[in-house]
Structure 1
Amino acid sequence: MAKKVKTIEPVRQKVLQELRPKKRVCAYCRVSTDSAKQHTSYAAQTKYYKEYIESRAEWEFAGIFADESSGTKVKNRDEFQRMIMECEKGNIDLIITKSITRFARNTIDSIETIRNLKSLGIAVYFEKENINTMSEQSEQMLTILSSIAQGESESISTNNRWGIQKRFGDGSYIPSCVAYGYTKDEDGELIIKEDEAEIIRRIYNEYLSGKGSYAIAQDLTHDNIPTIRTAEKWHDGVVKGILQNPIYKGELLLQKTYTTDVLPFTKKINHGELPMYSVKDSHEPIIAEEQAERVREIYEYRRMQMGMDDSGKYQNRYEFSSKIICKECGGTFRRQKMYIGKPYEKIQWCCITHIENRKKCSMKAVREDIIKDAFLTMWNKLVSNYSEILYPLLESLKKLRVNKEQEEEILKLNNNISELMEQSHILQRVMLKGYMDSAVFMEKQNTINVEIEEYKKKRNVFLESNGYEKEIEGTKRILQIIKYNPIIMDDYQEELFIHTVDKVLIGKIGDITFRLINNLELTEYITKR
């Protein structure tokens, strides 16, 4: 008996063409970092691509996305990321770009991005290579060409690095960025800039007299001393950098940082991975050798006392650090010790704006034990009433995921999806009763499935754009914490605070508001500060 074969025609492209009459096309390019050239380049490319896209009747211009030409990491390109987000929202169908090297010089980033776009049904067309990523041969060709582009970039970087290291080794390297306190003469050699050198001497002298870096920075700001690189004020981190820099005793320490060999290029602090180069007596010192050595000893001693690791970070960071906010000025609170060394030594937290200028903020300090007691009271109240607070809140958040216009649009999309699903069920019943050929059924069913998929994508865009995800997930986490800690607490627990509180807002009328990880704010009032 002869076999009967019937072709089930592909319907995806046909349906998409009906749902999207015109293909939405954008262009991605990289422009010069030079300000004058950038304007000219961007204007020229915009004109070219706009005319190129609008010349096609079946295309609709979806914009130009342009990043600066420097940089090899996709994550550092804001416009590139914005373009991908628009693709994920379903607003772009095709991307045109000059070449693979303009799109990405990192093979992994390039291939992963292209595969992601292909899974969304979005093609990338490379003009120079004449490659459309939707073609069957594109994957292999793109891998080869992207690898070549990445190899070129890594080769250039290696050659540049070799040249710099050679100059490090023979002492001919001249820093491109001159440290505060110095400038360059006609030959490029470092010479002292006397007005800035006076500030350097002041910083060293005050540190040796017992002042800390934070107090020194405050005094410099108070005295209106010009800052480094036109910053608004002096920071303790800048003062620490000056105190640790050997340049001020006449020594250049080279290759304190290095860049990784392969893409993505990453700048790292040199902790012994590569050699460093010390060039002594390379220029006139501002600080005497003995003075610089004494500063180094004091700095190391203080760092050990404060519990800092080799990277300069605090090992014993306090749970309240960066979390306490002033309701009056919005400033962050800073930790302070009172009555140091005495039996009644206390720890308090004070607004940094108030510390620097009491005229700008009148908020007074709050003792740490009072904040802990307030948190304990708040938490016990929440545990006692969580079923009346958190469960209704969770339900309300789920209902408030969208605004009225979005709700109407989602309702419309849901109705379209329901109608198509009903059509699908009818088709199945008709086919099962033998009133429809199976090949015809498959073709019509595929058409319905594509339409449902498109409507679901549009619905997800609305749901994700205003979904209160943080609040919902935070509420679920708090409920889970209470599930495993359902009892009333007798003592403050640091871990509990860290995992449940996002910010602590201090007010002037004795109110302490705890903003939890789900943005729920609960306030306790104190009668004594």
Structure 2
Amino acid sequence: MVGIYCRISKHKEEGKDVSIAVQKKYGIEFAKSEGMEFRVFVDEGISGRNEKISERPEFALLLNAIKNKEITHVYCYDQSRIERNNTIWNMFVSLMLEHKCKYYPSGKFLDLDVPENKFITGVMSLANELYATVTGIKVKEAIAINAKNGKTHGLCAYGYKKGDDGKFAVVEKEADIIKRIFQMSLDGLGTYTIAKRLNAEHIPTKFNQFSGNFRRKDRYTKQITTYKKENIIWRGNVVHDIITNPVYKGVRMWNGEQVPIPAILTEQYWQEVNDNLENNRKKVGKRDEYHYLLNGITYCADCGSEFRGKKRLKGKDSAYKCKGKSKHYIKCNSRGISIAKIETFIIYHLFLAKGLQDFLAGLPENTEKLDELKEKIGKEKKELEYLRRAEEKAYKNLADPDFEDDEKIKETLKTTKRKIKEKENAIDILENRLIERSGENRLKRVENILGQYHLDAGFDETRRLVHSLIKRITIKHEPNKRSGNFLVKIEYRGFDEQSIFMTNWQALNWYCLSYYRSRAITKEDLKEDRELARYLLKSAGKSTKLPKDFVGFEASSVSSDIIKLNPTELIYFD
């Protein structure tokens, strides 16, 4: 199979570089002329100077396909598509020779094992790197010259747009909002209060006018969350950045130099508001960095919001608290719980007490869930195959001179490629869940994780182990005398079963109320559930024949396990 590699850098003007469509076209024509199947790899908007393979995803896939001997021939429009970095080129040549993969720049075979060819391509690689470096310098110089002449580069600050002459132009409607923000700050309002007012009045942010998404990675769970730009709201830090931005007094900073642009405020007024900004802030000093073991997996039973750790070593405030309580539109009656106590309890429950390990070890596979996952994976793979055929068809259409500039086909191809990536990610997630749930695999995984823990483990290692075992913790506060009780439900990765614990406001004695099951666990459980089901059906005057997929009743088993914490032996990470 021929691997057709196509790449184009960011911000290329029409005619300044060979388009992806043209590169694909010649690649597909070459594959057809050789009578070979092909697979196209496209890195769009990515520099060939980049040494990090992980930041060139399609190139990484090509290299992996070569290693797996899925690709036996590599086509590229020219060598500069592969790299503009000599280190990358040497690595590429080494891999091609190791796996006996043939190289076809511009569709002509070039034997990389011939010394003369190695020398020539090595010189070309150095020339490509030099060209990229010089081009990069020229681009930076051009941007600097434009900036010094008052021209915009990239996204303009709120209140401005790119004018017809390429320079900054004031957006009057947004400028009025800027003036309001500065006046509210001068009147003594804090930046977060100002943000709340703007949101309450439904005043759009800079990003609300754009389509597309933001992606942010949670620093605790590493999960990526997607936010629509049209839903971005005002935040206190954004308001603060606006107030301290000198562009609004007509000064744009570029490489340490001041560049004049149209001002929205007078310099004197801007300075007055910034001097006053310090009076609107609490003098909290340097912010300390703390560690929270359960951030990202702990949630409130009352409102569904996340519980987050909030620690102040100099004060008494050191608890996991519901984030929903800080939002005026959410009604929540939850209460904070001691960080050290709940973290110590979780460590004892998972690694030091034996009740959990015995409970999980006695659970059989949920074959129904496994079958559901296998069915979903099969369905997703069929849809992925359909999308890949649609992608191949689109590439073939673009290879036809009559359709190579058809924007509708290009847009369809772009959408199809996005769906393929989404589908591949979905399959990976499902396959990982299948591995987690498979009986032998999940028990080995649990035993392996439990065996890795030791009391002198640091925060990062302990957090990794805890998050590997626990999927979700849900905390419910039950008001009662002397500050009430906490009910804590723990869900485990790869299992349907859950544990429910209760403790009072002191959080030193943790009582295991029950182990929840979603189905019969043992053969004896299933036998009892079948007998009960037949009895209930007979009492209701219905047929006592049970379906073949009957797996028992959802139920809870009472437990008498207690985990007692010694207040002098609590585990602290700070």
Q: TM-score, normalised by structure 2?
A: 0.56
Q: How far is the alpha carbon of 1:148 from its aligned partner?
A: 0.7
Q: Does the 8 A contact of 1:249 with 1:285 survive in 2?
A: yes
The letter of the residue matching 1:62 is F
Partner residue, 2:321: 349
Match of 2:74 among 84, 95, 106: 95
Q: Does the 8 A contact of 2:111 with 2:117 survive in 1?
A: yes
Q: How far is the alpha carbon of 1:223 from its aligned partner?
A: 2.1
Partner residue, 1:175: 152
Q: Does the 8 A contact of 2:308 with 2:322 survive in 1?
A: yes
Partner residue, 2:104: 125
Distance 1:212 1:335 in 2: 24
Partner residue, 2:349: 381
Indicate how the Cα distance of structure 1 residues 34 and 384 shifts in structure 2: closer, same or farther if over 3 A, else same: closer
SS at match of 1:144: helix
Q: Does the 8 A contact of 2:75 with 2:107 survive in 1?
A: no
The letter of the residue matching 1:278 is Q
SS at match of 1:526: strand
Partner residue, 1:227: 205
Partner residue, 2:563: none
Partner residue, 2:40: 64
Distance 2:167 2:146 in 1: 15
Indicate how the Cα distance of structure 1 residues 515 and 105 shifts in structure 2: closer, same or farther if over 3 A, else same: farther
The letter of the residue matching 1:150 is E
Q: How far is the alpha carbon of 1:367 from its aligned partner?
A: 0.8
Distance 2:110 2:462 in 1: 55
Partner residue, 1:14: none
Indicate how the Cα distance of structure 1 residues 386 and 159 shifts in structure 2: closer, same or farther if over 3 A, else same: farther
Runs of 5+ consecutive residues of structure 1 not aligned to the other structure? 1-23, 256-275, 309-313, 406-462, 486-492
The letter of the residue matching 1:525 is F
Runs of 5+ consecutive residues of structure 2 not aligned to the other structure? 209-228, 376-430, 478-485, 506-574
Partner residue, 1:480: 452
SS at match of 1:253: strand
SS at match of 2:454: helix
Distance 2:463 2:349 in 1: 18
Indicate how the Cα distance of structure 1 residues 79 and 471 shifts in structure 2: closer, same or farther if over 3 A, else same: farther
Q: How far is the alpha carbon of 1:93 from its aligned partner?
A: 2.0
Indicate how the Cα distance of structure 1 residues 484 and 121 shifts in structure 2: closer, same or farther if over 3 A, else same: farther
Partner residue, 2:474: 506
Q: Does the 8 A contact of 1:105 with 1:146 survive in 2?
A: yes
Q: Does the 8 A contact of 1:248 with 1:286 survive in 2?
A: yes
Is 1:278 aligned with 2:250? no
Match of 2:274 among 290, 293, 307: 293
The letter of the residue matching 2:151 is I
Q: How far is the alpha carbon of 1:36 from its aligned partner?
A: 13
Q: Does the 8 A contact of 1:334 with 1:352 survive in 2?
A: no
Distance 1:211 1:471 in 2: 56
Q: Does the 8 A contact of 1:500 with 1:516 survive in 2?
A: no
Distance 1:37 1:112 in 2: 31
The letter of the residue matching 2:86 is T
Distance 1:237 1:26 in 2: 47
Partner residue, 2:63: 84
Distance 2:324 2:318 in 1: 18
Q: TM-score, normalised by structure 1?
A: 0.60
Q: Does the 8 A contact of 2:86 with 2:129 survive in 1?
A: yes
Higher relative contact order, structure no. (Cα contacts within 8 Å, ≥ 6 residues apart): 1
Q: Does the 8 A contact of 2:66 with 2:101 survive in 1?
A: yes
Q: Does the 8 A contact of 1:92 with 1:122 survive in 2?
A: yes
Q: How far is the alpha carbon of 1:226 from its aligned partner?
A: 0.7
Q: How far is the alpha carbon of 1:41 from its aligned partner?
A: 5.1
Distance 1:104 1:513 in 2: 53
Indicate how the Cα distance of structure 1 residues 161 and 49 shifts in structure 2: closer, same or farther if over 3 A, else same: closer
CA RMSD of aligned residues (A): 4.9
Distance 2:31 2:433 in 1: 29
How many residues align? The count is: 400
Cα displacement string for residues 46-67 of structure 1 (whole angstroms, at most 9, x for unaligned residues) = 454334223335x3x1311222
Partner residue, 1:254: 254
Distance 2:27 2:325 in 1: 51
Is 1:367 aligned with 2:336? yes
